């Protein structure tokens, strides 16, 4: 942020006036005393007239993965063109289950390596059969493309993915359409267009309420309210965030266990992880830590996959750091790296936590040095 500001010849006073972020907060972020949140980064991006990913930074293409990314982009371009890679419906279901497992493990490299073939085969099968079930599989494959692209902040690919996902979902079923709307709102979230994302969520909620019933309805509404509370928290719309939080908790009561559909979870645990993150966005850090204590104290502990547990520890680390608890923040950051190292390496919250923790430690810290080395950050 400091580099972008100085390149333009702006002082902190000018950036504060243009972004609506206080000069005090800007100074703390630049001095490494406070993490740069996505909400603040979005305000700064708008002030500079830049995409959000230029402020947060994009993750580089993983080593030896250039060909896989090139093949994935080619498969996305061929969305409307029937291909030659044939696969049966049972084979595709098996491939999607394997992809869901890789995504749950936050194995980004394996997801990228396997996605081009899956997308191509799912599209060929859907064009051949024309059945809603086949297009649902295409929609599911593109949800994973969006997830992968969003994790790396490859926003051009993320935009394309949700566009194709939405087209496929329209030919599938109401559940696919709800997930596509969730991911469409996610693109607005990733771009920092929080209010536009909320509009997408509100529209989708109305559609779900009129088209689904039972557990399917509760799940679809649940994932949309989770997206809504995240967007509202980033936008500092406290009342709207609380409304989505209240509704999500109420819906989660219908689930004894987490329901996992297309790699997207809903239930009491995932609701808790989202509320923890939004509590941090709204500076309710004590609430975040209290909810974490309740979550870890549940019978059976946390059952969510690495792709959810990693960010959970990052968000608790952020709240602990905001409350001045550097040692506990470091412990949670280490947990995030332990459970999902590939995800931690590209996640902006992880990077920001490392930046602040390393700037605050005047003496060498072997634990921080180890994390910084894995993240390619000089300490």
Q: Which residues fall within 8 angstroms of residue 24, CB to CB, at 6 or more apart?
A: none
The whole-model pTM stands at 0.92
Phi and psi (nearest 5°) for 283?
60, 30
CA 74 distance to own-chain centroid: 24
For 303-329, b where at least 16 C-beta lie within 10 A, e where not — what string?
A: ebbbbbbbbbbbbbbbbbbbeebbebb
Whose tokens are 């059945």? That residue is 131
Of the candidate CATH numbers 2.30.30.30, 1.20.1250.20, 1.10.260.40, 3.40.50.10490, the domain formed by 1-58 belongs to 1.10.260.40
Collapse the DSSP code of 176 into the 3-class scheme (helix H, G, I; strand E, B; otherwise coil) and give the result: helix
Distance CA 345, CA 65 (A): 16
Distance CA 44, CA 62 (A): 28
Distance CA 313, CA 326 (A): 14
User: Measured between alpha carbons, how far is residue 203 from residues 16, 169, 255 in Å?
Assistant: 34, 16, 24
Digitized pLDDT (tens) for each residue of the chain, 379 residues in all: 678 888 888 888 888 888 888 888 888 888 777 888 878 888 888 888 888 877 887 777 777 889 999 999 999 999 998 778 789 999 999 999 999 999 999 999 999 999 999 999 999 999 999 999 999 999 999 999 999 999 999 999 999 999 999 999 999 999 999 999 999 999 999 999 999 999 999 999 999 998 767 889 999 999 999 999 999 999 999 999 999 999 999 999 989 889 999 889 999 999 999 999 999 999 999 999 999 999 999 888 899 999 999 999 999 999 999 999 999 999 999 999 999 999 999 999 999 999 899 887 756 788 888 998 888 876 5
Strand ranges (E), 237-311 = 259-261, 264-266
Return residue ranges of the chain for CATH 1.10.260.40: 1-58
Q: Is 47 exposed, middle or buried (0-12, 13-18, 19+ CB in 10 A)?
A: buried
DSSP-derived secondary structure letter, 58: P
């Amino acid at each position: 942020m400091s580099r972008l500001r100085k390149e333009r010849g702006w002082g902190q006073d000018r950036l504060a006036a243009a972004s609506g972020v206080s000069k005090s907060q800007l100074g703390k972020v630049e001095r490494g005393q406070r993490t740069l949140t996505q909400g603040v980064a979005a305000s700064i991006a708008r002030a500079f007239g830049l995409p959000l990913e230029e402020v947060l930074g994009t993750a580089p293409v993983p080593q030896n993965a250039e060909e896989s990314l090139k093949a994935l982009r080619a498969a996305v371009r061929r969305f409307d063109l029937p291909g030659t890679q044939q696969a049966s419906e049972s084979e595709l279901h098996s491939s999607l289950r394997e992809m869901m497992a890789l995504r749950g493990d936050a194995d980004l490299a394996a997801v990228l390596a396997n996605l081009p073939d899956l997308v191509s085969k799912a599209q060929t099968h859907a064009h051949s059969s024309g059945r809603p079930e086949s297009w649902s599989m295409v929609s599911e494959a593109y949800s994973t493309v969006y997830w992968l692209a969003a994790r790396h902040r490859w926003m051009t690919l993320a935009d394309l993915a949700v566009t194709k996902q939405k087209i496929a979902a329209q030919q599938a079923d109401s559940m696919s359409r709800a997930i596509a709307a969730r991911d469409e709102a996610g693109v607005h979230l990733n771009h920092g267009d929080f209010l536009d994302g909320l509009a997408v969520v509100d529209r989708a909620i109305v559609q779900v309420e009129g088209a689904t019933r039972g557990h399917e309805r509760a799940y679809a509404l649940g994932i949309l309210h989770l997206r809504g509370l995240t967007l509202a928290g980033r936008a500092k719309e406290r009342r709207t965030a609380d409304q989505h939080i209240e509704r999500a908790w109420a819906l989660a009561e219908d689930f004894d266990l987490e329901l996992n559909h297309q790699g997207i979870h809903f239930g009491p645990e995932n609701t808790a992880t989202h509320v923890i993150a939004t509590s941090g966005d709204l500076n309710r850090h004590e609430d975040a830590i209290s909810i974490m204590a309740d979550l870890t104290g549940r019978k059976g502990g946390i059952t969510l996959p690495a792709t959810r547990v990693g960010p959970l520890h990052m968000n608790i680390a952020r709240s602990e750091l905001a409350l001045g608890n550097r040692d506990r923040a470091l412990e949670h950051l280490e947990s995030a790296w332990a459970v999902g190292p590939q995800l931690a390496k590209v996640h902006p919250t992880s990077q920001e936590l490392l930046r602040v923790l390393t700037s605050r430690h005047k003496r060498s810290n072997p634990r921080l040095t180890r994390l910084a080395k894995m993240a390619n950050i000089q300490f």
